[in-house]
């Protein structure tokens, strides 16, 4: 290191180098889900395993440990204290994981993903069983290695902490308990209303090239910078922020399902806006340039997808373009009928295509099942039956095939156990933030007037100032409280859903 280096500058250099190596792994992961031919799976597993080992060695090196200790000894304050605090957290967690386990997890993720893609395509759950059993075994070992935060004897807490730092399963239990009853009641009243939108407006013939054009225009309109990112196709949509100047997102297109592709794109654009507006140019590799939690990340995607993208004001801006791109499907149709169709509430099999009112029941189902799988209370062989029972209990329907049931999500194949609850936290946080930004924009009427003119920058600027630019300075709930002036609760979300139910269904 240069003679003039300070403890914090030395630490910054090492953290940036670690992040650059991690970004290489992200590129490999993105390629796996967008470009990799099936026959390349074994090689990709070797590549990913090797990269995981190299990244783990970098993340647990004695040099990095010494740099963190030296920076701590310098008694850092302000932003420097945040960098050191989070570096210590990451280092301590990483050093608890043996390199062998890190390599095995990386290899299992690649093979598990490839197996999941085929199993989902063929509705063949049995083919996925050994891969899920292997992943659960490895994730239990990971939980045992890193320990259980907050003195919690639930191994789920250790995995949750990786996605939602500082959060506990007990808090999630409280959130879901507060939502479950009101949501089941609301969905029931909507179903009993006798009102249904013209759902077929979204299932006519929508040429894929025109869908891509509409999605691209919407992403640009709300702020995505295509000179610093791109949109591709994957089996399961995702977003990956590699680093400064490179944020990739994916979607999927179906000719007879406009809503699937469009709202998937809008959802991933919300993630991408967060990634593009984190202060990575200055702080890449440190906590100041990283998202605070997946719950906050989901708050950004769900806010743009639902609170903005399903609003009449948003479609006042985009409707002329939609009619121009799809003259046969939408040319003579009413925008109000179309918007009602995008806000359709009805029990459905697929989480990513579900409406706002039933969505969190889908998440609750997964939260309960993956805890039971991890603890061993539920065997992998019994997963389909447990899934069907809970879907019947919460949504009143049973999947007709595995791809509409327990094979629909990519997460378990990739080892993302503990991830699902962050979707509901995101919905809760999004509603809290949206209420506050509406006030900041001058109230609902002024906010909607901006949207109708295609002026989304004021909303994005508020999010940048109050969420994105903070990096990991604050824990997730603290960040929401700082931005809104109140502790996050489920009430804004429930109020939002009730207002929509009143508007469209009269209940």
Given the residues 268, 290, 305, 356, the one annotated as active site: 268
Cα–Cα distance measured from residue 440 to residue 461, given in angstroms and rounded to the nearest whole number: 11
What's the CA gap between 50 and 55, in Å, rounded? 9
Q: How would you classify the pairing of strands 239-243 and 229-233?
A: unpaired
Q: In what order do the strands lie in the sheet with 239-243?
A: 229-233, 246-251, 239-243
Q: 461, exposed or middle or buried, with CB in 10 Å at 0-12, 13-18, 19+?
A: middle
Q: Pick from 67, 61, 118, 123: which is nearest to 94 by CA?
A: 61
Catalytic site includes residue 268: yes
Q: 172 exposed, middle or buried (CB, 10 Å; 0-12, 13-18, 19+)?
A: buried
Quick check: helix, strand or coil at residue 241?
strand
Report the C-alpha gap between 320 and 466 in whole angstroms.
33
Query: What is the C-alpha separation between 180 and 187, in angstroms, rounded?
Result: 11
Beta carbons within 8 Å of 377's beta carbon, 6+ residues apart: none
> Which of helix, strand or coil describes residue 232?
strand
> Cα(first)–Cα(last) distance of the chain, in Å?
67
Unique residue bearing structure tokens 């959060």: 167
Q: Which residues are designated catalytic? A: 268
């Amino acid at each position: 290191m240069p003679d003039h280096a300070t403890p914090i500058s030395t630490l910054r250099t090492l953290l940036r180098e670690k992040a650059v190596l991690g970004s290489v792994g992200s590129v490999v992961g993105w390629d796996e889900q967008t470009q990799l031919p099936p026959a390349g799976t074994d090689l990709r597993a070797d590549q990913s395993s090797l990269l995981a080992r190299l990244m783990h060695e970098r993340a647990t090196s004695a040099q990095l440990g010494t740099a963190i200790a030296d920076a701590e000894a310098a008694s850092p304050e302000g932003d420097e204290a945040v960098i050191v605090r989070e570096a210590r957290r990451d280092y301590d967690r990483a050093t608890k994981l043996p390199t062998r386990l890190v390599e095995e997890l990386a290899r299992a993720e690649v093979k598990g993903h490839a197996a999941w893609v085929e199993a989902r395509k063929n509705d063949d759950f049995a083919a996925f069983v050994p891969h899920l059993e292997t992943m659960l075994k490895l994730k239990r070992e990971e939980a045992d290695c890193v320990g259980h935060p907050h003195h919690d004897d639930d191994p789920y807490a250790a995995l949750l902490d990786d996605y939602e730092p500082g959060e506990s399963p007990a808090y999630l239990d409280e959130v879901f308990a507060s939502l479950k009853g009101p949501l089941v009641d609301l969905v029931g009243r909507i179903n009993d209303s006798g009102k249904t939108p013209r759902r077929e407006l979204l299932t006519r013939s929508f040429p894929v090239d025109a869908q891509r054009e509409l999605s691209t225009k919407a992403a640009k309109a709300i702020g995505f910078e295509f000179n610093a990112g791109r949109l591709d196709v994957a089996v399961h949509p995702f977003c990956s922020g590699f680093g400064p100047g490179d944020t990739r997102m994916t979607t999927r297109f179906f000719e007879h399902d406009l809503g699937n592709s469009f709202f998937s794109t809008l959802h991933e654009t919300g993630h991408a806006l967060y990634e593009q507006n984190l202060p990575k140019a200055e702080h890449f590799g440190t906590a100041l340039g990283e998202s605070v939690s997946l719950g906050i990340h989901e708050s950004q995607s769900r806010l743009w997808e639902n609170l903005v993208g399903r609003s009449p004001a948003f479609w006042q801006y985009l409707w002329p373009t939609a009619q121009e791109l799809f003259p046969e499907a939408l040319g003579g149709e009413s925008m109000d009928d179309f918007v009602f169709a995008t806000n359709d509430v009805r029990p459905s099999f697929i989480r990513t295509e579900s409406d706002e009112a039933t969505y969190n029941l889908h998440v609750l189902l997964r939260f309960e099942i993956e805890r039971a799988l991890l603890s061993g209370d539920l065997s992998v062989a019994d997963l389909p039956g447990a899934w069907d029972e809970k879907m019947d209990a919460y949504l009143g329907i049973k999947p007709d095939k595995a791809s509409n049931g327990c094979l629909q999500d990519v997460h378990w194949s990739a080892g993302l156990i503990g991830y699902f609850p962050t979707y509901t936290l995101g919905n809760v946080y999004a509603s809290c933030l949206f209420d506050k930004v509406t006030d900041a924009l001058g109230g609902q009427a002024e906010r909607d007037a901006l949207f109708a003119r295609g002026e989304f920058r004021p909303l994005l600027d508020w999010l940048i100032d109050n969420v994105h630019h903070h990096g990991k300075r604050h824990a997730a709930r603290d960040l929401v409280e700082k931005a809104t002036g109140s502790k996050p609760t489920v009430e804004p979300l429930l109020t939002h859903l009730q207002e929509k139910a009143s508007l469209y269904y009269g209940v």
